[in-house]
Amino acid sequence: DGGITQSPKYLFRKEGQNVTLSCEQNLNHDAMYWYRQDPGQGLRLIYYSQIVNDFQKGDIAEGYSVSREKKESFPLTVTSAQKNPTAFYLCASSILVSPHEQFFGPGTRLTVL
């Protein structure tokens, strides 16, 4: 089955730690995205990537970093510089033609202890 997987489903972080969220897709999509979702707010774009080894900042990139070494994978690192990291993180992918429907993974809920 084609789709997007994210792991872990739940993640707990102590203050001062960096953590990495995994996102993998087998849809053969070129574009991948990371969003953050907070209660009562729309999804906000953190980073996106159109092609391997290239990525761009979204609206709220501060305190986050990404890599795109393979077409199928787009991991997100939440660094200790992110002041309020507790949120629900969603990874999505789409074909390259813009705009086009994005398909989402199941999400990772990050909680800072």
Partner 1 sequence: EDQVTQSPEALRLQEGESSSLNCSYTVSGLRGLFWYRQDPGKGPEFLFTLYSAGEEKEKERLKATLTKKESFLHITAPKPEDSATYLCAGGRRDYGQNFVFGPGTRLSVLP
Does 71 bind partner 1 (CB under 8 A)? Our answer is: no
The per-residue DSSP string of 9-77 comes to: SEEEE-TT--EEEEEEE-S--SEEEEEEE-TTS--EEEEEEEETTEEEE-TT-TTEEE--SBTTB--EE
Which of 36, 38, 37 lies closest to 47, judged by CA?
36
Residue 93 tokens, joined: 């992918």
Does 54 bind partner 1 (CB under 8 A)? Our answer is: no
Q: How far is the CB of 11 from partner 1 (least distance, A)?
A: 14
Q: How far is the CB of 95 from partner 1 (least distance, A)?
A: 12
Q: Cα separation of 40 and 77, whole Å?
A: 24
Q: How far is the CB of 41 from partner 1 (least distance, A)?
A: 6
Q: By rule CB under 8 A, what string of x and - marks binding of each residue 8-47 to partner 1?
A: -----------------------x-x------xxxxxx--
Does 7 bind partner 1 (CB under 8 A)? Our answer is: no
Residues that bind partner 1 (CB under 8 A): 4, 6, 31, 33, 40-45, 48, 50, 56, 58-59, 88, 90, 92, 98-107, 109
